[in-house]
């Protein structure tokens, strides 16, 4: 039987998701032996521009060059998989999205006009092309990518996680750090899959797996943290850290900012 052809690519990001694949030490060679690897940007300079069964793309679209590359990859693959938060929603690069225009940022930081550099507002892949599957994380979890790849090899689509970190916290019987320690945990609105790593260590979740798609109740998270005594600006910054491009967070933080400005609070 012919092996599926795959390519693993990077746009704007830290390369951490490809590194997690490389970190599958014990399974990696066996796993890759089931595929014909045509590109693996972080592992090899070999890059064969051919039709692909699956393209894994990490990183956000933050430049016109990156967008062109994404469109070129989409044009020659059957399945496109967004690998990690940058490829899903822009991640930390997008934390200042909607705060000021790109032109304003370029003027403030570099003293130049917007089109001087090859830049775009950082966005996930789905803002520009069809994405068939998203694997969250900053970086992705080793087990999750392993599970996704083996499911795809069997012709199945891996299930998407649509419940929060709190569920894993409860399953592990970890004490809630909001209740016990008044910490500003984002577990209630963050996509599970890390086995509640941070609360398990007595730390609050900073939301690194991104907000749960179409299920995030950012308003209630905000109210909860306001009740705990955190100020609006602190919470807004925290929500934007990994969720700057998520509609509900944009809407909520900009509405409240306007209200606070009117009342003279910010
Ligand atoms: S510690 Fe965080 S993740 Fe765990 S139950 Fe409390 S709010 Fe949820
Ligand atoms: S920050 Fe939250 S989502 Fe990220 S590893 Fe910690 S608990 Fe999991």
Mean pLDDT computed over 11-18:
96
- Residue 131 and residue 125: Cα distance in Å, rounded? 7
Smallest CA separation from ligand 1 atom 1, residue: 176
Mean per-residue pLDDT for 225-233?
91
C-alpha 103 to ligand 2 mean position (Å)? 33
d(CA 259, CA 266): 9
Provide the percentage of residues in the chain whose pLDDT is more than 70.
97
- Determine the pLDDT at residue 266: 45
Instruction: Give pTM, 2 decimals.
Output: 0.92
Question: Between residues 185 and 262, which one has the greater pLDDT?
Answer: 185
Tens digit of pLDDT for each residue in 36-91?
999 999 999 999 999 999 999 999 999 999 999 999 999 999 999 999 999 999 99
5-153 classified as CATH 3.30.1330.80 = no
In this model, does residue 265 exceed pLDDT 60? no
Q: Name the residue of 161, 163, 164, 165 to mutate for ligand 1: max ligand atoms within 8 A of Cβ.
A: 165
From the CA of 138, the nearest ligand is: 2
Q: What's the pLDDT score for residue 264? A: 62
Mark 64-96 as b/e (b = at least 16 C-beta within 10 Å).
Answer: eebbebbeebbeebebbbbbbbbbbbbbbbbbe
Domain residues of the chain, as ranges? 5-153, 165-262
Say how many Å lie between the CA of residue 155 and the centre of ligand 2. 30
Average pLDDT, the chain: 92
Residue closest by Cα to atom 6 of ligand 1: 176
CA 130 vs. chain centroid, Å, equals 16
> Has residue 221 got a pLDDT over 60?
yes
pLDDT in tens, 102-161: 888 888 888 887 677 888 999 999 999 999 999 999 999 999 999 999 999 999 999 889
| pLDDT surpasses 80 at 259 | no
Q: Among 53-57, 167-171, 246-250, where is mean pLDDT lowest?
A: 246-250
């Amino acid at each position: 039987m012919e092996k599926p052809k795959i390519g693993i690519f990077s746009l704007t990001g830290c390369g951490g998701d490809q590194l997690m694949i490389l970190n599958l030490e014990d399974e990696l060679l066996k796993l890759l032996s089931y595929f014909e690897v045509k590109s693996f940007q972080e592992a090899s300079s070999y890059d064969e521009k051919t039709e692909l069964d699956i393209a894994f793309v990490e990183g956000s679209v933050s430049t016109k060059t990156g967008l062109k590359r994404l469109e070129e990859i989409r044009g020659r693959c059957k399945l496109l998989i967004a690998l990690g938060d940058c490829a899903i929603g822009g991640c930390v690069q997008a934390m200042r999205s909607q705060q000021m225009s790109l032109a304003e940022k370029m003027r403030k930081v570099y003293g130049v006009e917007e089109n001087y550099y090859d830049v775009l507002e950082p966005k996930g892949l789905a803002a520009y092309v069809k994405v068939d599957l998203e694997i969250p994380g900053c970086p992705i979890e080793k087990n999750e990518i392993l599970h996704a790849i083996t499911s795809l090899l069997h012709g199945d689509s891996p299930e998407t996680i649509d419940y929060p970190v709190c569920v894993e916290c409860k399953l592990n019987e970890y004490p809630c750090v909001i209740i016990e320690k008044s910490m500003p945990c984002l577990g209630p609105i963050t996509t599970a899959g890390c086995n509640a790593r941070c609360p398990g260590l007595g730390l609050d979740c900073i939301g690194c797996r991104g907000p749960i798609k179409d299920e995030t109740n950012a308003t209630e998270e905000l109210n909860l943290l306001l009740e705990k005594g955190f100020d609006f600006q602190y919470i807004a910054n925290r929500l934007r850290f990994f969720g700057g491009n998520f509609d509900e967070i944009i809407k909520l933080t900009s509405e409240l900012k306007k209200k606070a400005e009117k009342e003279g609070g910010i």
